[in-house]
């Protein structure tokens, strides 16, 4: 861990809730330094960490929090979260709340979430709700969390019938993206993260999409330059959307949902955990593009380019076998349903999407079958 450098810095602009995203190498090794330089009046750190990450990095994180960095020594508590979507449960949240109470967390505490989206979502909601709000730092260690869930302030857990159905908009004070943590990420998880990267190109940035098409080899090889570009650009694009519609009230933020209405239904009906989130989104984007094509919003060549890019990144394209009525019913559980109407986010070219209402079950069924 000889390299310790900040390679890029992005600001999420949300008035008094603005915060920096730092991207680089060796950031976790300097965790204590970064916490002290970005958070005032810190008396206690609660590290909430994924069990696999704890095995791999726990010792060095612990060392970084007691190192002689000139700052006052902090009281530190550790809470290990079992890996997997099942930890985004009421039971896990209840256990975490009681742990925070037993550890005397108070408004001088900061919650530091280290892991993937599951840990970030769970820890973020715990931070949002404990004592009606503690400060919160995201240290995403998977590509998916780095390009998506750690940016934007969405936190939450699943209910038995619906994913992410309970939670809060709660902005972190700081996001640390350490590329070192990607070194040991399994290929399947890395690829799943790339689905969200492709999404940003499709919804907002045709140039970025073309760059992805031209750089598949470097991306799959995880070159530092490629990682820095795809993560920084994804964060910038997401930050711009979040800044314009922090709480999903204007409808703009809904474009981030491209592929997700289908994707969430796939995840829910396959049992959480059988598909990685990014895999379900990859299939969902394919379904959304086909639907847009059948509605004459895009022509087939665009569907094919998206499919080819996803395929070249080793992502699944084809939906699992699920009866359509079940699928349709599951989609109606989407949080963006308002007054019983589902809005589909569909592309009208590469780099642009729009929300479309009043699409019938028959139209969807015909497009994706």
- Is residue 10 within 8 Å of residue 235, measured between CB atoms? yes
Which residues are CB-contacts of 249 (< 8 A; sequence separation ≥ 6)? none
Q: Which of 1, 37, 106, 188 binds a copy of itself (CB under 8 A)?
A: 106
Residue 356's Cβ-count burial label (10 Å; 0-12, 13-18, 19+) is: middle
Between 169 and 211, whose beta carbon lies closer to a copy of itself?
169
Pairwise CA distance, residues 69 & 72, whole Å:
8
Rounded to whole angstroms, the Cα distance separating 97 from 119 reads 14
Could you tell me the smallest distance in angstroms from the CB atom of residue 125 to a copy of itself?
8
Residue 104 known to be catalytic:
no
355 lines the binding site for a copy of itself (CB under 8 A): no
Q: Which of residues 54, 111, 128, 280 is near a copy of itself by CB under 8 A?
A: 128
Instruction: For residues 192 and 195, give the distance between their C-alpha atoms in angstroms, rounded to a whole number.
Output: 5
Under the binding rule (CB under 8 A), the answer on residue 221 touching a copy of itself is no
Q: Which of 133, 221, 251, 320 binds a copy of itself (CB under 8 A)?
A: 133
The yes-or-no answer on residue 44 being catalytic is no
CB atoms within 10 A of CB 297: 17
Per-residue x/- track, 223-252, a copy of itself (CB under 8 A): ------------------------xx----
CA dihedral for 127, 128, 133, 135, sign (positive or negative):
positive
The rounded distance, in Å, linking the Cα atoms of 63 and 72 is 15
Verify whether residue 210 is a known catalytic residue: no
Residues that contact a copy of itself, how many (by CB under 8 A): 40
Q: Is 264 a catalytic residue?
A: yes
> Can 135 be counted among the known catalytic residues?
no
Active site residue 253: yes
DSSP 227-291: HHHHHHHHHHHHHHHHHH-TTS-SSGGGGGGTTHHHHHHHHHHT-TTSS-HHHHHHHHHHHHHHH
Q: Any catalytic annotation for residue 277?
A: yes
CA atoms within 13 A on the CB side of 30: 21
Binders of a copy of itself among residues 331 to 350 (CB under 8 A) are: 332-333, 335-340
Query: Which of the residues 145 through 204 are near a copy of itself (CB under 8 A)?
Result: 154, 156, 159-162, 165-169
Q: Is 5 a catalytic residue?
A: no
Q: How far is the CB of 172 from a copy of itself (least distance, A)?
A: 16
Q: Using CB under 8 A, list all residues that contact a copy of itself.
A: 41, 43, 90, 94, 97-98, 101-102, 104, 106-108, 125, 128-133, 154, 156, 159-162, 165-169, 247-248, 332-333, 335-340
Catalytic residues: 132, 154, 196, 238, 248, 253, 257, 260, 264, 277
């Amino acid at each position: 861990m000889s390299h310790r450098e900040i390679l890029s810095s992005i600001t999420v602009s949300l008035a008094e809730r603005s915060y920096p995203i730092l991207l680089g190498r060796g950031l976790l090794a300097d965790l204590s330094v970064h916490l002290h330089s970005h958070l005032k009046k810190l008396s206690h750190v609660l590290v909430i960490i994924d069990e696999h990450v704890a095995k791999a990095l726990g010792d060095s994180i612990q060392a970084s929090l007691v190192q002689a960095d000139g700052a006052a020594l902090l009281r530190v508590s550790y809470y290990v979260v079992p890996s997997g979507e099942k930890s985004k449960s009421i039971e896990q949240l209840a256990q975490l709340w009681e742990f925070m109470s037993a550890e005397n967390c108070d408004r001088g505490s900061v919650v530091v979430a280290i892991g993937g989206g599951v840990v970030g979502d769970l820890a973020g909601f715990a931070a949002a709700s404990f004592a009606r709000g503690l400060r919160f730092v995201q240290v995403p260690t998977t590509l998916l969390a780095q390009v998506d869930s750690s940016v934007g302030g969405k936190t939450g857990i699943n209910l038995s019938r619906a994913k992410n159905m309970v939670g809060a908009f709660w902005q972190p004070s700081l996001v640390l993206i350490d590329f070192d943590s990607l070194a040991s990420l399994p290929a399947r998880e890395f690829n799943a993260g790339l689905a969200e990267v492709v999404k940003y190109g499709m919804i907002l940035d045709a140039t970025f999409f073309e760059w992805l098409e031209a750089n598949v080899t470097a991306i799959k090889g995880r070159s530092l330059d490629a990682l820095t570009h795809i993560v920084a650009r994804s964060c910038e694009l997401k930050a711009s959307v979040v800044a314009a519609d922090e709480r999903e009230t204007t409808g703009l933020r809904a474009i981030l949902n491209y592929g997700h209405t289908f994707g969430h239904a796939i995840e829910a009906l396959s049992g959480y955990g059988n598909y990685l989130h990014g895999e379900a989104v990859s299939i969902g984007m394919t379904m959304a593009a086909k639907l847009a094509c059948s509605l004459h919003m895009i022509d087939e060549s665009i569907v094919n380019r998206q499919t080819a890019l996803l395929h070249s990144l080793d992502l699944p394209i084809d939906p699992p076998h699920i009866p359509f009525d079940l699928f349709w019913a599951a989609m109606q559980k989407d949080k963006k349903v308002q007054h019983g109407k589902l809005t589909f986010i569909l592309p009208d070219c590469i780099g642009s999407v729009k929300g479309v209402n009043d699409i019938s079950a028959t139209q969807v069924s015909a497009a994706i079958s």
